[in-house]
Amino acid sequence: MELQALPTRITFLSHAPTSSLRRASFPLDEPLIDGEAQRITSVYWVAPRAQLVLCGPELRAQQTASALGLEPSISLDLADVNYGAWRGKEMDDIQMSDPEGLSEWLTNVNATPHGGESIAHLIARVERWMERQTGAGHVLAITHPAVIRAAVLCAMEAPPDSFWRIEVSPMSVTDLRFNGRAWTLRSMGWSVRSSEREDF
143 pLDDT exceeds 90?
Answer: yes
Q: Which CATH superfamily is domain 8-191 in?
A: Phosphoglycerate mutase-like (3.40.50.1240)
DSSP H helical ranges for the chain:
19-23, 36-41, 59-67, 91-97, 99-107, 119-133, 145-156
Instruction: Write down the pLDDT at residue 5.
Output: 53
Instruction: Write down the pLDDT at residue 135.
Output: 87
Mean pLDDT of 13-40: 89
Instruction: Write down the pLDDT at residue 189.
Output: 82
For 101-128, b where at least 16 C-beta lie within 10 A, e where not — what string? bbeebeeebebbbbebbbbbbbbebbee
Element (H, E) at 160: none
pTM of the predicted model, to two decimals?
0.91
Reported as a pLDDT band with limits 50, 70 and 90, residue 126 is very high
Task: State the CB neighbour count (10 A cutoff) for residue 190.
Answer: 16
Instruction: Write down the pLDDT at residue 4.
Output: 52
Mean pLDDT of 177-195: 84
Q: Mean pLDDT score of the chain, rounded to an integer?
A: 90
What residue segments make up the domains of the chain, in order of their start? 8-191
Reported as a pLDDT band with limits 50, 70 and 90, residue 173 is very high
Instruction: Write down the pLDDT at residue 37.
Output: 86
Alpha-carbon radius of gyration of the chain: 17
What are the percentages of helix, strand and coil residues in the chain, rounded to 5?
40, 20, 45
| CA distances from residue 24 to 43, 85, 89, 162, 174 in whole angstroms, order as listed | 25, 16, 9, 20, 22
